[in-house]
Amino acid sequence: MRRSISPFPLILLGTGVFLLVLTQLLAWYVEPRAKRTPTDTISTTVFEGQGSYFDTGSVSTVDDQKITITRRVVGDVAGSERSGHAIWDVSTQIDTPKTLPLADPRKSLQWTTERWVTDRRTNLPVHCCEEKPGFEGEAYLKFPFDVEKRTYAWWDSSLGATVPLKFDQVTRVDGHQGYRFVGSVEATATGTRLVPAVLVGSSQPGQVAAEEWYANARIELTVDPRTGRIMNALIAPTKTLRAPGSQKDAVTLLASEKLQFTEATRREQVKLAEADSSRLKLLGQTAPVGGGILGGLLIIVGAGLTLRGGRRPQHSEE
């Protein structure tokens, strides 16, 4: 009697081994490398709300006005490839109903440009590549991958320092689960500005170096846990001027109890978070687990068929 092994069990065995190897590659090699801050980012986020601002035309603070904050982020792909880091150029403008229709951001109520350089894996700041300004912390335009339920150091550009944001609760934004973090900023002196003394109630002649003060009564960020993308944001900033050495605000430059993502911005951020999160889940969880189970079953079935069904009797000729 001669043994004859069918090729089918061998195919099952080979396929099973291939799937096990592939799933290990996905879990230990591909997925960790997919968790990298993108370098080709092009995005626009918009905050809106009611508030007050100092109108230079009437030289007074006007109340109950629409405030719009527009932030545009463009990734420096060439610079990122050379450095190995994520380099993003950020433009932020604050607009009033008068300045919003104007095309020139220099005519906005306030316009700032920044250059952020971060480690693509950890999201920590990297001080190189013409970074402007220098910053610290763990979170700014996004949180790190695999967000934890803990306190994060969030960089506040208006403050020029980090703010601790505490984990608040698990919530949902347009049906997508997120982690909400909250914090606040007490009134803090952030610099000086030359203004007419009379503007801040000073008796000195000419101009004085008025103190600029900043506070933020509520910072609320809801983050996708897997990618660190900010899906919804709410802030309540106040910027004022005080006479030198004074303990009281003399002029309100900007104030709002609630500026938050517009509906369009929120929907777009949730859509991007869902897509990126699903891709990472597929690479790091769904495919490895499913492929591992299937690969194991194929190996068991293939081995069983080889041992039991691979023996076929052959009659020898006399």
Per the CB < 8 A criterion, the answer to whether 211 and 192 are in contact is yes
Q: Is 117 helix (H, G, I), strand (E, B) or coil?
A: strand
pLDDT at 283: 55
Residue 137 lies in a domain: yes
The secondary structure of residue 61, as a DSSP letter, is E
pLDDT tens digits, 72-122: 999 999 999 999 999 999 999 999 999 999 988 999 999 999 999 999 889
User: Quick one: tokens of 216?
Assistant: 């933020």
Residue 161 lies in a domain: yes
Tell me how far apart the alpha carbons of residues 159 and 161 are, in angstroms, rounded to a whole number. 5
Per the CB < 8 A criterion, the answer to whether 29 and 311 are in contact is no
Residue 276 lies in a domain: no
Residue 143 lies in a domain: yes
pTM (2 d.p.): 0.80
Tell me how far apart the alpha carbons of residues 309 and 242 are, in angstroms, rounded to a whole number. 90
Nearest to 113 by CA among 132, 139, 85: 132
> With the C-alpha atoms ordered 225, 286, 118, 176, is the resulting torsion angle positive or negative?
negative
DSSP 175-213: TEEEEEEEEEEEEEEEEEEEEEGGGGT--SSSEEEEEEE
Tell me the backbone φ, ψ of residue 32, rounded to 5 degrees: -60, -35
Tell me the backbone φ, ψ of residue 66, rounded to 5 degrees: -75, 125
**Left, alpha or beta for 174 (phi > 0: left; psi -120 to 50: alpha)?**
left
Domain that holds residue 227: 35-261
Tell me how far apart the alpha carbons of residues 116 and 141 are, in angstroms, rounded to a whole number. 9
Tell me how far apart the alpha carbons of residues 273 and 291 are, in angstroms, rounded to a whole number. 25
Distances (CA, A) of 191 to 3, 114, 176, 209: 89, 18, 40, 9
Residue 291 lies in a domain: no
Other CB atoms within a 10 A radius of the CB of residue 101 amount to: 8
pLDDT at 297: 55
Name the domain count of the chain: 1
User: Quick one: tokens of 90?
Assistant: 């950020």
Q: Is 2 helix (H, G, I), strand (E, B) or coil?
A: coil
How much of the chain, in percent, has pLDDT values that exceed 90? 69
Cis before 225? omega within 30: no
Tell me how far apart the alpha carbons of residues 250 and 206 are, in angstroms, rounded to a whole number. 17
Residue 313 lies in a domain: no
Residue 280 lies in a domain: no
pLDDT tens-digit profile, the chain (318 residues):
455 556 655 564 555 455 455 555 545 444 445 578 889 999 999 999 999 999 988 889 999 999 999 999 999 999 999 999 999 999 999 999 999 999 889 999 999 999 999 998 899 999 999 999 999 999 999 999 999 999 999 999 999 999 999 999 999 999 999 999 999 999 999 999 999 999 999 888 899 999 999 999 999 999 999 999 999 999 999 999 999 999 999 999 999 999 999 999 999 999 999 998 878 766 555 555 555 565 555 456 555 656 665 455 555 444
Residue 303 lies in a domain: no
- Give percent helix, percent strand, percent coil of the chain, each to the nearest 5: 30, 40, 30
Tell me how far apart the alpha carbons of residues 93 and 261 are, in angstroms, rounded to a whole number. 14
Q: Is 242 helix (H, G, I), strand (E, B) or coil?
A: strand
